[in-house]
Structure 1
Amino acid sequence: MGADQTIDWHAAAASALEWWRDAGVDVLVGDDPFDWLAAEGPVAVASPLLAASPPAAPVAPTAAMPAAIADFLAWRIAETAPEAEWRVPIVAASGPADADLMILIDCPERDSADSLLGGAAGRLFDRMLAAIGRSRADVHLASVCAARPTVGRMPRDMEARLGEIARHHASLAAPRRLLVMGDAASRAILLANVIEMRGRLHALNHNGGKTTEVVASFHPRMLLERPALKAEAWRDLQLLMARTKGEEE
């Protein structure tokens, strides 16, 4: 996923260790033995986790929205975007659009007008990514609202339209996994709040037969306000990455 990067691995490792400590991780292995060298078996079409909740309905392309991901990303930050009338900065999605992992949040942070998840919430987010061996460079990060609403939360009168746009975005990107962080993102994709959707994988079906596995978790902003939830968020991240062991691009 592409460009050469210079990464301070010592800082990245220290950040990941700090996140694990805050999440309550105190051992490096589980109680049960696991053969890490064993070949990964085929993924069942109807696994128990996916069957735990009914799959969401297929996402049909909307005539008003571009049907190609590059065109859609340009349209999403153009003057025709629903948020353009707010007259505040519109923030583009970041990271490769073809990444295997997409992350959806509600809107840009108050203290970050040029990128998603800046400030203190962004620093915590970076530590969370490092803890699962990922970085912003290899995930596709997007928001339901491309601009920050004046009141700081999703306008209820636009929720349905922005949810439709978010689902279309996810359908075009068609990642293997999608992490929705916070209630607004969870409602946009799964039509319910995080607390109802946590703890299991959900299936988001796309036209053409592709399926994205969706995990719901807390927004980093919530974790800063309620640090005790970090242990729950760590379980969500483990669920998100559990099916990727042994996978190679």
Structure 2
Amino acid sequence: MDTPPPSFARDLDAAMDWWRDAGVDLDFADDVTVWLSEESGGPTGAASGTAQKSHAKPDPAAPAENEQHSATAAARADLLGDSLPVTLEEFHKFWLEAPGLDTVGPRGRIPPRGTARAALMVLVVGPEETDRTLLLSGPQGQLLAKIFTAMGVDEDNTYVASALTRHTPMADTVAIAASGMDAVTALHIKLAAPKRLIALGTDILPLIGHDRAQDIMSLRKINHEGASIPLMVSEGLDSMMSMPRLKARFWRRWMEWSAE
């Protein structure tokens, strides 16, 4: 007895199950697209005719979350204090000595490197894990040096800084920015006074005064107290190292931005 050939819907179901088992459920492009969304039923549900609409239920934890955000906002501190640094040299001293910039304290902080009014400032979320005295002294720094070379940028005419004083895995940059660190970053950029600024890492957005959900392609300038600096935001150096295609994306953005 001949076995009837499998239907297209069955083939599609099997293919999607294979990708799901492999842990692949997203199509990575400039905008992430969810392939197997439970809310929409996904292609599998559509093909088999068994898609069901998901009805979101109110989250009982939402009020607590809102209260937490309110508490975070209320906990905002004046990290700059009364003795506001007025030069980049004073800021470097403040960065290494001020007690409230992180939960650990001054010991072990990594300073920025470079000079004021550089042609290009690169701002990352935080130092590398292996940094001890020099910012980005490991693989990420090696990648950045290669990027400078490809750009034709003299590294001696750059300023490299981090928005956090030390390596902080899984940093909650929204809460850290709300605690007052965004004001510290804004002053740092003002005193460094670069001609152009590249901010690396999508989690860096709250620390430079933007919503984390904002489209990084739409950010072109950073404004502070009347000063406007051309801005480019891209994925972090660590992401570029793990996903080489992001290097190509960064390069396209750089070519477009530097031509403006």
On whether the aligned pair clears a TM of 0.5, the verdict is yes
Matched ranges for 1:167-206 at <5 A: 167-193=186-212, 196-198=215-217, 200-206=218-224
Matched ranges for 1:56-95 at <5 A: 64=82, 65-83=84-102, 85-86=104-105, 89-95=108-114
Residues 98, 106 of structure 2: 8 Å contact kept: no
TM-aligned CA distance change 1:87 to 1:155, over 3 Å:
farther
**How high is the TM-score relative to the length of structure 1?**
0.64
**How high is the TM-score relative to the length of structure 2?**
0.62
Name stretches of at least 5 consecutive residues in structure 1 with no aligned partner: 1-61, 244-249
Determine the structure 2 residue equivalent to 1:228: 245
* 2-structure distance, mates of 1:71, 1:87: 15
Q: Secondary structure at the match of 2:86?
A: coil
Residues 199, 232 of structure 2: 8 Å contact kept: yes
Greater shift, 64-73 or 163-172, is seen at 64-73
Q: What's the % identity of the aligned pairs? A: 23
Q: Secondary structure at the match of 1:170?
A: helix
Q: Does 1:125 align with 2:144?
A: yes
Matched ranges for 1:93-172 at <5 A: 93-149=112-168, 151-154=169-172, 156-160=174-178, 161-172=180-191
TM-aligned CA distance change 1:113 to 1:178, over 3 Å:
same
Matched ranges for 1:31-50 at <5 A: none
* 2-structure distance, mates of 1:107, 1:170: 15
Q: Does 1:241 align with 2:255?
A: no
* 2-structure distance, mates of 1:238, 1:147: 31
Aligned residue-pair number:
180
* 1-structure distance, mates of 2:109, 2:155: 19
Q: For 1:130-187, what per-residue CA distance to the aligned partner results, in whole angstroms no more than 9, with x for missing partners?
A: 11111432111111101112x3534654232222211111122222211000023233
Q: For 1:222-248, what per-residue CA distance to the aligned partner results, in whole angstroms no more than 9, with x for missing partners?
A: 0111111111111122234224xxxxx
Q: Which letter maps to 1:158?
A: I
Residues 106, 184 of structure 1: 8 Å contact kept: yes
Q: Give the counterpart of 2:236 among 195, 219, 239.
A: 219
Q: Which letter maps to 2:176?
A: M
Q: Secondary structure at the match of 1:108?
A: coil
Q: Secondary structure at the match of 2:127?
A: coil
Q: Secondary structure at the match of 1:175?
A: coil
Q: Secondary structure at the match of 1:85?
A: coil
* 1-structure distance, mates of 2:243, 2:125: 18
* 2-structure distance, mates of 1:112, 1:172: 24
How large is the RMSD of aligned CA atoms in angstroms?
2.5
| Moved >4 Å (runs of 4+) | none
Rg (Cα) greater in structure? 2
Name stretches of at least 5 consecutive residues in structure 2 with no aligned partner: 1-79
* 2-structure distance, mates of 1:133, 1:152: 33
TM-aligned CA distance change 1:88 to 1:63, over 3 Å:
closer
Q: Which letter maps to 2:221?
A: A
* 2-structure distance, mates of 1:95, 1:141: 6
Q: Secondary structure at the match of 2:102?
A: helix
